[in-house]
Amino acid sequence: MTGPLGSTPVTGPAVLLDGEPVKLADRPLKAGGQAAVFPVISNEGIVVKLYREPPGADQERRLQRMLTMAPLGGRPTHSSQPPELAWPTQLARSPSGQFLGYAMPKFGEPEHVQLVALFGRSMRLRHFPQRADWRFLLGISWNLAFMAARMHQEHLVIGDFSSNNVVVDRDGFVTFLDCDSIAFTDPGTSEYFPCLMQTADYSAPERQKGSPASPATDDFALAVLIYQLLTGGNHPFGGVRRDSDSEATVADNIAASCSYVVLPQQVIVPRGVIDPVVLPPSLLELAREAFGPGVLNPAARPTARDWLRALNAERSRVQVCPDRPGHTYGSHLQSCPWCTHTAATGQDLFNEMTTAPSPAYPLAPAPAGGLQTRTALIAISITVTILVVLLLIALIANS
Amino acid sequence: MRRDQQPRPKSPPADFAHIEIGNNAQRLPLVLCLDTSHSMRGTPIESLNEALRSWTRDLRDDVSLSASVEIAVITFGGQCVNAWQGPYPLPPQAGVSPFVSAGAFQPPQLMASGVTLMTEALELAMQIVMARKQELRQSGLQHYRPQICLVTDGIPTDRNGHPTDRWRRLVPVLSHEQQERRFRLYAIGVGGVTSHGAQVLEALAPKFNARLEGFPFRDLLQMMSASASAEQKGAGDEVFEKIFSRFTQRPAWEH
């Protein structure tokens, strides 16, 4: 037997895009169980996703139908906003014509970082230095809710909605990556394409048991993602259930409908977990619905629109901590929760060093940085205003 | 043989993070159980060290895995079995966890000599996984199913270097533990592992064993990362088998 991995070709796989041969890098950017994503040597703007096993006629038809669609399009976006969906642009075939995968726009590091990078302190500080305060995280939550609401409005189901397949740029704009797994009904042929992928930590209980993906299962994942964003990365089904066996995971806590946000007395949580009341009351109420009755009853889950409405109201009310840079929080709080957390744990979730309060922010490190930050904030607020207006128009038009 | 010129401290610094605060991600303990016996001398151990270094960089850059994966290294070579906390060998019964978060992990600089105490190494791997799970749970942290990756180019020996059958006592234990989903064991033979060696690996890890030509440590470690990603995703057993079968099968685009 020859070492099969030793036989990795020096040049990448040979593929054709729209009949044109392109050169792929020999090593994939990302390789998972089902597929690998390769950079294209002659075109830095796109990547090619190739399935490990021949993907079959269903998948080929799915991709072909997707090429005829342009979801979440047709709206003016801010010039700096990337598309919200890494939608397929071309099919990838072998020189003999076999369907292998597809090309899509590239959303890679360092410009685009997986959402999960915002959940841990050290990652957050490394990838979003002096940017990722609570206000920024609230803005990302809004962007996620907006994307989900609009997809649902266009009868698309994200299906596999997780912190790994959404990327965020430095302005907080989000892009969903794995579009080939979304569930939709082809408007032309009425053929239904189900979502066959899921991520356990974001799967609603009915999905874990085999039900198809639905807007309600997206809403469950959205609630988890928003909760994680607003609490510095704490999964609402994290922590060890007092009655659980030794191998119980996040997914098991979901299946058991046991969240410390709703049932704090039943779960041992890690030191330094943020008190859920850091969420403003309207958002906390949605979280308690989503992680309480909404776990087992999809109809009781707040929808993406519910989240959007509540997030919208909070965005204009964010307070800025007078004592420490990078500390922003909801209008409902009397004092800065991040200062309290720093005092309790010795660790500042939004600053590198836990030292005495430093005055200048966001002036450091360079004037340009501060200016960019301000420009970006202005850009975001303009975009948000435009989007809200558009959404309202859409809502009105729909009703 | 030691190539890097920087002096390394003999023991881990006191402030080495035991459990990283501010990171409440569900953890994924991963044990590399590596053969560093005499037969690994020269190119094999050098390429293992090199592969560990590049894997460490890749892991650190993977925002998803670096927050979740925790690495411990166990070596079996010389006259004993060693646990390493990152680059530091731990004294036996140190009472310190060898696991280091992937984001902070630095690989040890391994040297090859001595005998192949594979049985003892696997027993230590199971021990440290069990202890780590307990520590995590006491801290309110959950964990995914841990992964243990055994890599060898030989057959189990005793302390005098004589082949031994003591590994057989592990077979029922490993089988039971894995049935209880307590960890996943991968057993990989590299270099000139004999068919007897391959049989041992097959008995230890009936589902995830392989016999590879040469020393493709880099691909092997990438496979461990891919499995870790699948574990994070909550994939079914068939996905792990698919990932593992990449050792023997080529993907569609290479046909």
Please report the DSSP string for A189-255 in residue order: T--EE------GGG--HHHHTTPPP-HHHHHHHHHHHHHHHHTTS--TT-SEETT--TT--HHHHHH
Is the predicted pLDDT of residue B162 greater than 50, yes or no? yes
Q: Which of residues 56-115 of A touch B (CB under 8 A)?
A: 94, 98, 100-101, 109, 113-114
Task: Tally the C-alpha atoms within 13 A of residue B78's C-alpha that lie toward its C-beta.
Answer: 9
What average pLDDT does range B184-213 have in this prediction? 94
Contact list in A for residue B234 (CB cut-off 8 A) is 198-201, 203, 249, 251
The pLDDT of residue A390 = 58
Residue pLDDT, tens place only, A323-364: 999 999 999 999 999 999 999 988 999 998 754 444 433 333
Q: Is the peptide bond before A357 cis (omega within 30 degrees of 0)?
A: no
The pLDDT of residue B87 = 96
Residue A347 φ/ψ, nearest 5 degrees: -135, 125
Q: Give the confidence band of A34 by pLDDT, cuts at 50, 70, 90.
A: confident
Q: Give the confidence band of A383 by pLDDT, cuts at 50, 70, 90.
A: low
* A381 min Cα distance to partner chain B (Å): 28
Q: In a 3-state reduction of DSSP, which class is residue A380? A: helix
Residue pLDDT, tens place only, B29-88: 999 999 999 999 999 999 999 999 999 999 999 999 999 999 999 999 999 999 999 999
The pLDDT of residue A394 = 58
Contact list in B for residue A248 (CB cut-off 8 A) is 142
Number of H helices, E strands in chain A: 11, 17
Is the predicted pLDDT of residue B13 greater than 70, yes or no? no
Enumerate long-range contacts of A380-385, CB under 8 Å, 24 or more apart. Answer: A380/A139, A380/A171, A380/A172, A382/A78, A383/A77, A383/A78, A383/A81, A384/A139, A384/A142, A384/A315
Is the predicted pLDDT of residue A50 greater than 70, yes or no? yes
d(CA B139, CA A239): 9
The pLDDT of residue A307 = 98
What average pLDDT does range A207-232 have in this prediction? 97
Q: Is the peptide bond before A110 cis (omega within 30 degrees of 0)?
A: yes
Is the predicted pLDDT of residue B255 greater than 60, yes or no? no
Most confident of A210-219, A385-394, B205-214: A210-219
What average pLDDT does range A300-304 have in this prediction? 98
Residue pLDDT, tens place only, A246-291: 788 999 999 999 999 999 999 999 888 999 999 999 999 999 999 9
User: DSSP code of A273?
Assistant: P
The pLDDT of residue B20 = 78
One CATH from 3.40.1160.10, 3.40.50.10890, 1.10.10.10, 3.40.50.410 for B33-254 = 3.40.50.410
User: DSSP code of B78?
Assistant: B
The pLDDT of residue B250 = 57
Cα–chain center distance at A132? 15
d(CA B186, CA B183): 10
Is the predicted pLDDT of residue A40 greater than 50, yes or no? yes
Q: In a 3-state reduction of DSSP, which class is residue B2? A: coil
Residue pLDDT, tens place only, B89-140: 999 877 889 999 999 999 999 999 999 999 999 999 999 999 999 999 999 9
The pLDDT of residue B254 = 64
The pLDDT of residue A359 = 40
The pLDDT of residue A13 = 86
d(CA B49, CA B1): 12
Contact list in B for residue A345 (CB cut-off 8 A) is 21-22
Chosen for mutation from A48, A60, A116, A354 (greatest number of chain B CBs closer than 10 Å) is A116
Q: Give the confidence band of A138 by pLDDT, cuts at 50, 70, 90.
A: very high
Is the separation of the CB atoms in B29 and B146 below 8 Å?
Answer: yes
Is the separation of the CB atoms in A118 and A298 below 8 Å?
Answer: no
Residue A199's nearest CA partner among A77, A121, A116 is A116
Q: List the single range of A127-136, A242-251, B152-161, B192-201 with lowest mean pLDDT.
A: A242-251
Residue, of A364 and A134, whose pLDDT is higher: A134
Chosen for mutation from B24, B54, B179 (greatest number of chain A CBs closer than 10 Å) is B24
Is the predicted pLDDT of residue A126 greater than 50, yes or no? yes
Domains of chain A: 20-80+88-105 (3.30.200.20), 108-398 (1.10.510.10)
Is the predicted pLDDT of residue A241 greater than 90, yes or no? yes
pTM over 0.90: no
Residue A313's nearest CA partner among A327, A300, A330 is A330
Instruction: Give the angle B127-B133-B138 at the CA atoms, nearest 5°.
Output: 130
Instruction: Report domain extents, chain B.
Output: 33-254
Residue B46 φ/ψ, nearest 5 degrees: -65, -45
d(CA B86, CA B189): 24
Residue pLDDT, tens place only, A151-197: 999 999 999 999 999 999 999 999 999 999 999 999 889 999 999 99
Residue A209's nearest CA partner among A331, A295, A316, A329 is A295
Q: Which of residues 12-31 of A touch B (CB under 8 A)?
A: 13, 15, 31
d(CA B251, CA A35): 9
The pLDDT of residue B5 = 42
d(CA B39, CA B55): 23
d(CA A197, CA A213): 9
d(CA B33, CA B190): 13
Residue percentage of chain B with pLDDT more than 70: 89
Residue B211 sits at the chain A interface (C-beta within 8 Å): yes
Q: Give the confidence band of B18 by pLDDT, cuts at 50, 70, 90.
A: low
Residue pLDDT, tens place only, A87-118: 999 999 999 999 999 999 999 999 999 999 99
Strand order in A99-105's β-sheet? A20-23, A14-17, A90-93, A99-105, A43-51, A35-40, A30-31
List Cβ neighbours of A366 (8 Å cut-off, separation of 6 or more).
none
Q: In a 3-state reduction of DSSP, which class is residue A2? A: coil
Is the separation of the CB atoms in B250 and A3 below 8 Å?
Answer: no
**Residue B78 in tokens:** 């010389």
* B100 min Cα distance to partner chain A (Å): 15
Residue B132 sits at the chain A interface (C-beta within 8 Å): no
Is the predicted pLDDT of residue A377 greater than 60, yes or no? no
**Residue B118 in tokens:** 């594979």
Residue of chain A whose alpha carbon sits nearest to that of B216: A6
Residue B143 φ/ψ, nearest 5 degrees: -140, 150
Quick one: CA dihedral A133, A134, A135, A141, positive or negative?
Answer: positive
- Closest partner residue to B242 (CB to CB) among A33, A199, A345 is A33
Please report the ipTM that was assigned to this predicted complex: 0.89
